[in-house]
C-alpha cells in the first residue's frame, strides 16, 4: 500500500441531500438501517452464487455463504460482514459515492413525508447503504471483489458529510465488511438481544444464514 493510493473525494449533490434526509428525517425509523445492510450483504452473496455458476474459482475454496454481525460495546462499533461478491475500487466509487446516477434523485422525488412509507422506499432505489448514518457518525467499508488478489482490497471511509476517502488495502478474504461507529446514545445496537430481534423482525426471509455475536456477559 502506498500513500498515493489514498484519496479524498466529494459526494455528488444528491447524495448529500440523501444523507441529510437519512440523518434528520427518518430518525424515528432508525432501526431500518440493519434491514438495509443485511439485505445488501445477502444480495452480494446471491450475486456471487450466480456468477460462480460459470466460474467456480470465485468461491476461493469457501463456498459457504453467510453474513456475520458482530459488535464491540467498549468501542461502540457494529460490524456487518459478508463473504459475497465484494467490490473493486471502481465499484466502490460508483456505488458509494456517485449513486445519484442510479436512483438517488428519483428516490428523493418520490418522498411523501410519511416516515413509514418513505423508509420502505429505501431498498427499492438501492440507497439503503446510506441509512447507516442514521445511527453512525463514521462508517468504514473494507471490501475485495471475488477472484481478485488479496492486495486489491479497498477501504472507504466517511463521516456522512461532504466527502469520503478511499485507500488500497490488503484483504485476505473476498466480500465486504461494514463497520459502524455508533453515535452517542445508539449503544442499543451493540447488544446481541436487540440485534437478534431486529434480524428476526426484518430479515427472517433471507436465504443466506445470518449469524449474530453473542453477548459475553
Confidence tier at 18 by pLDDT (50, 70, 90): confident
Q: What is the mean pLDDT of residues 191-201?
A: 95
Query: What pLDDT sits at residue 101?
Result: 47
Query: Is the confidence at residue 60, as pLDDT, over 80?
Result: yes
Structural domains of the chain, with CATH: 3-212 (3.30.565.10)
Please indicate whether residue 44 or residue 128 has the higher confidence score (pLDDT): 44
Query: What pLDDT sits at residue 188?
Result: 96
Burial class (CB in 10 A: 0-12, 13-18, 19+), 83: buried
For residue 141, what are the β-bridge partners? 156, 178
Query: What pLDDT sits at residue 1?
Result: 44
Quote the CA–CA distance of 136 and 182 in Å, as a whole number. 4
Query: Is the confidence at residue 79, as pLDDT, over 90?
Result: yes
Q: What is the mean pLDDT of residues 168-197?
A: 97
- Residue in the structure block whose three cell numbers are 436512483: 103
Whole-number average pLDDT of the chain: 88
% of the chain beyond a pLDDT of 70: 92
Confidence tier at 100 by pLDDT (50, 70, 90): very low
Nearest-10 crossing angle of helices 32-52, 115-124: 20
Amino acid at each position: 500500500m502506498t500513500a498515493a493510493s489514498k484519496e479524498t473525494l466529494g459526494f455528488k449533490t444528491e447524495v448529500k441531500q440523501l444523507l441529510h434526509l437519512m440523518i434528520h428525517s427518518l430518525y424515528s425509523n432508525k432501526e431500518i438501517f440493519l434491514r438495509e445492510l443485511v439485505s445488501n450483504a445477502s444480495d452480494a452473496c446471491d450475486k456471487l452464487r450466480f456468477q460462480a455458476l460459470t466460474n467456480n474459482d470465485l468461491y476461493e475454496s469457501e463456498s459457504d455463504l453467510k453474513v456475520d454481525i458482530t459488535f464491540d460495546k467498549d468501542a461502540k462499533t457494529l460490524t456487518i460482514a459478508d463473504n459475497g461478491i465484494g467490490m473493486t475500487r471502481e465499484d466502490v466509487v460508483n456505488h458509494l459515492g456517485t449513486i445519484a446516477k442510479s436512483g438517488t434523485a428519483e428516490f428523493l422525488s418520490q418522498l411523501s413525508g410519511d416516515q413509514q412509507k418513505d423508509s420502505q422506499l429505501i431498498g427499492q432505489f438501492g440507497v439503503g447503504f446510506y441509512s447507516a448514518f442514521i445511527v453512525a457518525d463514521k462508517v468504514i467499508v473494507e471490501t475485495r471483489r471475488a477472484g481478485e488478489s488479496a492486495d486489491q482490497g479497498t477501504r472507504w471511509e466517511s463521516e456522512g458529510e461532504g466527502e469520503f476517502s478511499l485507500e488500497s488495502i490488503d484483504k485476505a478474504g473476498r466480500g465486504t465488511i461494514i463497520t459502524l461507529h455508533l453515535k452517542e446514545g445508539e449503544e442499543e445496537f451493540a447488544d446481541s438481544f436487540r440485534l437478534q430481534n431486529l434480524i428476526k423482525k426484518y430479515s427472517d426471509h433471507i436465504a443466506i444464514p445470518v449469524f449474530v455475536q453473542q453477548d459475553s456477559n
